[in-house]
Homo-oligomer: A and B are copies of this chain.
Amino acid sequence: MKRSDLALYLVTDSGLLLGRPLETVVAQAVKGGVTMVQLREKSASSYEFYQLAMALKKCLSAYRVPLIINDRLDIALACNAEGLHIGQQDLPYEVARRLLGKNKIIGLSVESVEDARKADKLDVDYIGISPVFHTPTKTDTAPALGLEGIREISRICHHPSVGIGGINEQNVAGIITSGADGIAVVSAIMSAPDPEKAARTLKELVIQVQNK
């Protein structure tokens, strides 16, 4: 995995699609420049999750965009996803690595400086710094870390990173200049009237700041 794969990281939320099919929104977002997609389903049955994962895997393979599965290592194995994203309440990292092997991407959510110190000692492929800002998308999050949090965590933990939580066009620049390799977004793309356009705008902002 390259750091540039994290530039614009889309996390799905089936509740924010405004009635559109998930695959349609994801495909549009990828056309707009999304570099990685995480399928996150917290209320689907295993069967529904598996079906969605298989559909996204097929769609994303055509664009050579990696598919990452949130939490559910069994779904990641079942659809042969490129990787797994785990939070602090999911399977321990060491267990996930043992079951997935060395060739899969494993990302880990880091919600505090303490988490960052621990993550730095693991061979995770990337970290998600979460949440940067307050977000209504996810209700079980730790306190917002702010841009100062990104700076501090980036000093402590040397893995590639994305910031996540409340990110939109207005605050992209701060996330990148504070040390993250990319931005992870949910509603800014999932609920956008034009997901392709929203993705393109966000991607251009990330690249602009990185090239400064």
Q: CB within 8 Å of B: which residues of A?
A: 45-48, 50, 71-74, 77-78, 86, 88-92, 95, 99
Q: Which residues of B contact A71 (CB under 8 A)?
A: 46
Separation in Å of the A159 CB from the closest CB of chain B? 21
Q: Are A47 and B77 in contact (CB under 8 A)?
A: no
B residues near A50, Cβ cutoff 8 Å: 91-92, 95
> Which chain B positions have C-beta within 8 A of A46?
71-72, 86, 89-91
**Closest Cβ of chain B: how far from A91's Cβ, in Å?**
5
The 9 closest A-B pairs by CB, nearest first: A73-B74, A74-B74, A45-B89, A46-B90, A47-B89, A78-B95, A46-B91, A77-B99, A50-B91
Q: Find A91's partner among B47, B73, B95, B99 (CB 8 Å cutoff).
A: B47
- What residues of chain B lie closer than 8 Å to A88, measured between beta carbons? 47
Collect the chain B residues with CB atoms within 8 Å of residue A78's CB: 73, 91, 95, 99
A104 to B46, CA, bound (A): 19
